[in-house]
């Protein structure tokens, strides 16, 4: 590990932390993020469920969210297995790296530390997806506890409180899902560290640029922003 490696790692952590802080859905920036817009649509969806007795639509949505979360959780398990396999093949990988003239040679210890960091990255992602899956499961239970329309007319406030609990849990589950997905995206930038700390910085900055554009300047955001303006005022 060289001084450049430590600088690159510090920049990686700072960019990751700064982007997470800016896009977690709780910051009221002048330009609304895609995450915050989707949080408002989650609220709209669950509040709409108060007006229908048949919750099959809602259970299908929850099932779809759980299926996507489970897919990424299982994917990170395979990635973790690949990292451990890479640690067992350190010598073969080093032989390949030595034949590449542009590779930054950090030695066996440096390589193993980098693989260990990549393993931690995928481990973090797996726990985020696992907890998100669990929270979506809890949310489905809370959705089942939302009163029927006849009961809602008798006690509207109690029904709205039940819906608000499901909303908060659904948004929290989405927050952990986004955190796990963000770690997977940033692992692409992390792979540049195996070549050079400078490539590490460049790739990480590029990934953050792409994610920032999707959050604040994408067509998906444009499609949602018009209908969400009124909801965000309240």
Task: Measure Cα distances from 80 to 30, 73, 196 in Å.
Answer: 39, 11, 22
Neighbours of 140 (CB within 10 A): 20
At residue 159, the pLDDT reads 85
Contact by Cβ (8 Å): 199, 192: yes
How large is the average pLDDT for residues 197-216?
93
- Which range of 102-106, 174-178, 229-233 scores highest in mean pLDDT? It is 174-178
Please give the Cα distance from 9 to 46 (Å, whole number).
Answer: 41
At residue 234, the pLDDT reads 47
- Which range of 11-15, 44-48, 159-163, 219-223 scores highest in mean pLDDT? It is 11-15
Q: Which two tokens stand for residue 149?
A: 């329309």
Residue 143 pLDDT greater than 70, yes or no: yes
At residue 172, the pLDDT reads 95
Lowest mean pLDDT among 21-25, 58-62, 162-166: 21-25
Contacts of 215 (CB under 8 A, 6+ apart): 22, 23, 33, 34, 35, 221
Percentage of the chain with pLDDT > 90? Answer: 44
pLDDT category of residue 203 using cuts at 50, 70 and 90: very high
First to last CA, the chain: 52
How large is the average pLDDT for residues 173-185?
95
pLDDT category of residue 158 using cuts at 50, 70 and 90: confident
- Which range of 82-86, 98-102, 187-191, 220-224 scores highest in mean pLDDT? It is 187-191
At residue 106, the pLDDT reads 61
At residue 86, the pLDDT reads 82
Q: What is the rounded average pLDDT for all residues in the chain?
A: 86
């Amino acid at each position: 590990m060289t001084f450049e490696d430590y600088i690159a790692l510090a920049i990686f952590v700072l960019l990751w932390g700064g982007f997470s802080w800016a896009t977690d859905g709780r910051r009221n920036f002048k330009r609304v993020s895609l995450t915050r817009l989707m949080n408002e649509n989650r609220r709209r969806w669950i509040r709409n469920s108060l007006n229908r007795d048949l919750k099959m639509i809602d259970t299908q949505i929850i099932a779809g969210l759980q299926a996507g979360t489970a897919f990424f959780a299982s994917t990170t398990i395979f990635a973790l297995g690949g990292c451990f396999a890479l640690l067992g093949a350190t010598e073969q990988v080093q032989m390949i790296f030595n034949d590449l003239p542009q590779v930054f040679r950090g030695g066996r210890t440096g390589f193993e530390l980098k693989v260990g960091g990549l393993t931690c990255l995928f481990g973090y992602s797996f726990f985020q997806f696992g907890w998100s899956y669990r929270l979506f499961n809890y949310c489905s239970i809370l959705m089942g506890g939302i009163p029927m329309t006849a009961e809602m007319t008798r006690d509207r406030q109690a029904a709205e409180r039940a819906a608000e609990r499901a909303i908060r849990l659904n948004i929290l589950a989405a927050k952990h899902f986004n955190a796990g997905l963000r770690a997977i995206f940033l692992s692409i930038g992390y792979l540049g560290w195996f070549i050079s700390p400078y490539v590490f910085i460049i790739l990480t900055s590029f990934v953050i640029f792409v994610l920032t554009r999707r959050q604040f300047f994408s067509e998906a955001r444009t499609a949602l922003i018009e209908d969400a303006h009124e909801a965000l005022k309240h």
